[in-house]
Structure 1
Amino acid sequence: MSFNHFRLATAAALIVLTGSLPAQAQPAAQLDGKALAFDRSKGNCLTCHEIKGGDSPGSIAPPLNDMKTRFPDRKELTAIIADETVRNPLTVMPPFGRNLILNEKEISAIVDFLYQL
């Protein structure tokens, strides 16, 4: 049996036994930037920022609106979310990327969402 046949047989067995594919075999899902931004255990943006569509926003940070105009360079907004302490050492914004709260794909999904605001 070749390695690929073994992987397919193993995945098939897992589907039969557990009803789902193993994590590495699951198709890549489109990340939901809005859900990540509003999730209190992930992006948590709503804790400090007012965001259209969010309930109980915080008011200690600027509202997140018109983001594509305010940050035309996507890399700048991505860097802010990843680690704002690089740009502003006195910030209270957590370094979501540096602290491994969000990975690169999650940060990118949040930027996609913010660019729609």
Structure 2
Amino acid sequence: MTALSRTSVLFLLLAIAAGLASPARAQSAVAEGRKLAFERGKGNCLTCHVIQGGDLPGTIGPELKDIKAKYPDRNELAAIIFDETKRNPQTMMPPFGRNRILTEQEINAIVDFLQTL
């Protein structure tokens, strides 16, 4: 086997391995996002929103359902969670990212979860 073909095989194997790991990573992010959304101390989405499977939801904000259809661009949804005051200065939603309540990674995990609703 030539050096070029060995390198090609190596890249192919790495690409396959990355593809196989991806669904597990995505599932983990969804689980982490759900945990954050339902956790009363950190994400705390249930304080204001009804979310299927959540206990004692609030009704200040809209019910969180059909999110992927409403926000097909995940960046828009992440921006809302990061700082909704940029889009709606009158919002009651805390600017989770701007105020460092949630990290960018945590916001992305919540977006992953919300897009499953």
- TM-score, with normalisation over the residues of structure 1? 0.73
User: In the alignment, is residue 100 of structure 1 matched against residue 110 of structure 2?
Assistant: no
Deviations 1:82-102 (A, max 9, x none): 000000001000000000000
Q: Count residues with an aligned counterpart.
A: 88
Counterpart residue number, 1:54: 54
Distance (Å, rounded) in 2 between the aligned partners of 1:41 and 1:96:
12
Counterpart residue number, 2:71: 71
Q: Secondary structure at the match of 1:60?
A: coil
Q: Aligned partner of 2:79: which letter?
A: A
Q: CA RMSD in A?
A: 0.8
Q: Percent identity?
A: 66
Distance (Å, rounded) in 1 between the aligned partners of 2:37 and 2:106:
9
Higher helix share: 2
Gap regions ≥5 residues in structure 2:
1-27
Distance (Å, rounded) in 2 between the aligned partners of 1:71 and 1:55:
24
Deviations 1:30-56 (A, max 9, x none): 451000001111111000000010000
Q: Which runs of 4+ in 1 moved over 3 A?
A: none
Deviations 1:66-88 (A, max 9, x none): 00000011110000000000000
Counterpart residue number, 1:116: 116
Counterpart residue number, 1:45: 45
